[in-house]
Structure formats: structure tokens, C-alpha cells
Amino acid sequence: MAADAPSAPRPNIVLILVDDMGWSDIGCYGSEIPTPNLDALAASGVRFTQFYNTGRCSPTRASLLTGHYPHQAGMGHLDNRVIPGHRGFQGKISDSSVTIAEVLRDAGYFTAMTGKWHLGQQHGTPPWKRGFMRSLNLQAGGVHFYNQGGPKGNAKLFLNGEEKALNDELFGEWYGADLWSDWGLKFIDEARQDEKPFFLYLAHCAPHFPLMAPE
């Protein structure tokens, strides 16, 4: 009888994370700057009034993707803080932690991420090894343009694990927020062609400094 029962619906999931946005930066929480689209989402959804996140982005990202406290997930600080022998400071997502992408992939979802990773790619845990079937990512953050100079000018993009230069002709002349969103849509289109439910993790670098606009 159980085998004949209809399967439960599997909703598509889009998880959007912005970087370094404060609690009062959104209109519905009292910001002086209008944010009508975000306010509309809040009005039709759930708005948290009691919550906590860490003061550093890597621990928060690790908790978001694993459901573990940061130190349980191996990310007690940024991914450049590694203390040998300490589970809480591995500089990457712990091998003992399972990501939501791994769970959903194994459940038949098409899983993808775009944007800032910052979870220990240099230590062996890039997105394509932690459950994401498709990815376009930066190892860390602070990159907003294809021709960016300064200390971030030598950063690389990674498309499904393949290293790409920031100015690779495949991407054209891009602005980060648009690039991550556009490729997120490409991955969603691929999921639809495969007739699979999808999970997209869209991790913007903005509005973290350096504050940069496309024009």
C-alpha cells in the first residue's frame, strides 16, 4: 500500500544569502532606505524578530548549509583560521557535517549554487564536492567586476569546478550581482529541462564592502 501512495510534493527552493547586511538595513525593520521588493517578500512570508548569526560570514554560511552550530561544522572563524587538532577550526565544512545540498541531491533534486562560497575551497571543500551539481562561484568574496583591480584582481571564477579568469569571454562584461542571478536562472532552466525539482543557493557578495555599483 505504501508503494502505491502518491509521493509528497517536492517544492522548488531558492535560498538567497546577502553578505554583511545589517538587521536595520531593510525597510520592514526600520531602514531609512526604501526596500519595497524585500518588504513585499516579508509581508507575504515570515519575518523573524528574534534571531542570531555570527559576526563572521564563514561560520554563518556553514550553519546555514548544515544546520549545525559553526564549531560543530568546523567553521569557528573564517576559512583561513585553521587550528590543527581542533574540530571547530578546520577552515572548511567538517566531513562529519552533511549539507542541505547533499541531502536534496540524494533525494532527486537538481542542486546549484552561484556566488561567494567562503567555506574552505582551498582546504578541499568546494561546492561541487559538497552536494552542488552545478556551481559558478568565487572561493571568497570582494569581487564585483570582470576587470576588477587591486588585491582581488587575481581572483578566479569556478564554473562546475573548472577555473576561469574573471574576464573570461564566456561571461562577458559583468557586474557581480547580475552574474550570480543570471547564472542561477541558467541552472534553474537546466533543472526544468531535466524535469527535476531544484534547489538554488544564491550567495551574493553585496552589500559587503567594497561597495560598488554597476555604473
- The set of catalytic residues is 57, 118
Cross-strand partners of 165: 156
User: Do residues 115 and 127 touch, judged by C-beta distance below 8 A?
Assistant: no
Residue 62: enclosing H or E segment and its boundaries? helix 57-66
Cell of 133: 551539481
Q: In what order do the strands lie in the sheet with 162-165?
A: 13-17, 198-203, 110-116, 134-138, 156-159, 162-165
The H-assigned helical ranges of 94-163 are 100-106
Cell of 19: 553578505
- The single-letter code of the amino acid at 166 is L
